Amino acid sequence: MIERRKFIKVSALTGLAGLVSGKVAGTDFYFSKKGQPIVISTWDAGIAANKAAWQVLSTNGSALDAVEKGVMVTESSQNCCVGLGANPDRDGYVTLDASIMDENFNCGSVAFLEGIKHPISVARRVMEKTPHVMLVGAGAQQFAIAEGFPLEAQKLSEQAQENYDNWLKKSEYKSPAINVEKTKEHGPFAPAKLDNGEWNHDTIGMIAMDFNGNLSGSCTTSGAGFKMRGRVGDSPIIGAGLYVDNEVGACVATGQGEDVIRVAGSHSVVEMMRQGLSPEAACKKIIQRIIKIKKEKAKDIQVAFIALNKNGQHGSFAIHPGFEYALRNTNNEKLVKSKSWFNI
Ligand code: ASP
């Protein structure tokens, strides 16, 4: 489990140059002035990832470089959730998904990729060096090796090994619905709620705006822990796990990928922002859509969206409490607690 990082508040929100609070469509928001760099990313691992992204943004680098460099930190971190040390599939193999998108609708992704430490960088190469958007499995690995990425052995982190050993005791393959209470058993679909009340989350998604006011996004994951071999989630699917429209805003998703895919989640959130909703209200609208589709099964799954609009406003919404996102801009480095549909 990623170590829970302390809530860091560099300075008070009010009265800071370039940071304004207000209300749009009935929800609170904070925003940086347009052109003031900002990065947001999912969960507490985002604090460390944002630091790397901020190094790029604060030295006038591009949002695209920032979102790649940022999530590479998490891919390298040997935790249970992202990268080669993450929770494996039910057969014991770590398979990785990632996507990246820039301000010009250029996008690239990889899915079901094995043995490569930085899937996000392979996704970027797919975007920049091929006529395609998505490469999967052996083909994605072949491309990565041809591009000079070393083939590495998977080495489960201690936590991932423990999670897998626990799961093997029952090898219980449940339907994609998470029973929030029962996921103590580390059920196959992430994010599951653990004994200590934290979510076992498997993705980092990041969105940034640079000094030029350009937006980019990235998303990288080991997917749902103990998934069927070959299962691919929302994270590498442009429009589901990630979407960027530089005229409007950007969104990334985390949670049960199947339910993000069926509503084209991130694209839908961006479309809501296009219609004038604040990032938080837009995320809430699509969470509501998922809840309407899932009916009583919505209790059993977690999905969360984070979004950033062209003016630097940011927000999120989740199905269940417990989700938070990391924010970094000129004045702040902190975790923001998300609102959620169910308020336990
Ligand atoms: N969205 C990811 C997937 O379904 C998992 C996660 O965010 O935890 O692959």
CA distance 315 to 336: 9
Domain presence at residue 342: no
Tell me the residue range of the domain where 35 lies: 28-337
Q: Count the Cβ atoms, other than its own, within 10 Å of residue 344.
A: 8
Q: Which helix (H) or strand (E) holds 337?
A: strand 333-337
pLDDT more than 70, % of the chain:
81
Nearest residue (CA) to ligand 1, atom 4: 257
Ligand 1 centroid – CA 215 distance (Å): 22
Query: Given pLDDT bands bounded at 50, 70 and 90, which one contains residue 26?
Result: very low
Domain presence at residue 226: yes
- 233 Cβ inside 6 Å of ligand 1: yes
Q: Which of 202, 261, 305 to mutate to test the pocket of ligand 1 (most atoms within 8 A of CB)?
A: 202
Domain presence at residue 1: no
Domain presence at residue 281: yes
Ligand 1 centroid – CA 275 distance (Å): 27
The residue among 10 and 152 whose pLDDT is bigger is: 152
- 201 Cβ inside 6 Å of ligand 1: yes
Domain presence at residue 228: yes
pLDDT tens track for 102-119: 999 999 999 999 999 999
Query: What would the two tokens of residue 166 be?
Result: 């626990």
CA distance 189 to 207: 24
Q: Which of 2, 110, 229, 256 to mutate to test the pocket of ligand 1 (most atoms within 8 A of CB)?
A: 256
Residue with tokens 């347009």: 34
Domain presence at residue 2: no
Contact 159, 170 (CB under 8 A): no
Q: Which of 71, 219, 234, 325 to mutate to test the pocket of ligand 1 (most atoms within 8 A of CB)?
A: 234
Question: Is it the case that residue 190 has pLDDT exceeding 70?
Answer: no
Nearest residue (CA) to ligand 1, atom 8: 202
Ligand 1 centroid – CA 279 distance (Å): 21
Atom from ligand 1 closest to the CA of residue 97: 9
Ligand 1 centroid – CA 291 distance (Å): 17
Atom from ligand 1 closest to the CA of residue 201: 8
- 190 Cβ inside 6 Å of ligand 1: yes
**pLDDT in the model for residue 188:** 35
Query: Given pLDDT bands bounded at 50, 70 and 90, which one contains residue 340?
Result: very high
Ligand 1 centroid – CA 82 distance (Å): 10
**pLDDT in the model for residue 157:** 84
pLDDT tens track for 60-105: 999 999 999 999 999 998 766 788 888 899 999 999 999 999 999 9
Atom from ligand 1 closest to the CA of residue 205: 7
Domain presence at residue 239: yes
Query: Given pLDDT bands bounded at 50, 70 and 90, which one contains residue 170?
Result: confident
**pLDDT in the model for residue 154:** 84
CA distance 136 to 209: 29
Ligand 1 centroid – CA 253 distance (Å): 8
Atom from ligand 1 closest to the CA of residue 190: 8
- 221 Cβ inside 6 Å of ligand 1: yes
Domain presence at residue 9: no
Query: Given pLDDT bands bounded at 50, 70 and 90, which one contains residue 158?
Result: confident
Query: Given pLDDT bands bounded at 50, 70 and 90, which one contains residue 29?
Result: very low
Which among 259, 246, 274 is positioned nearest to 305, based on CA atoms? 259
Provide the domain count of the chain.
1
Least confident of 188-202, 236-250, 316-330: 188-202
- 259 Cβ inside 6 Å of ligand 1: no
pLDDT tens track for 257-315: 999 999 999 999 999 999 999 999 999 999 999 999 999 989 888 999 999 999 999 99
**CATH code for the domain of 123:** 3.60.20.30
Query: What would the two tokens of residue 162 be?
Result: 């423990």
Residue with tokens 């994609």: 176
| 3-state secondary structure (DSSP) of residue 293 | helix
Positions marked active-site: 203
- Give the strand order in the sheet containing 203-209: 134-136, 107-113, 96-101, 215-221, 203-209, 38-42, 324-329, 333-337
Ligand 1 centroid – CA 209 distance (Å): 24
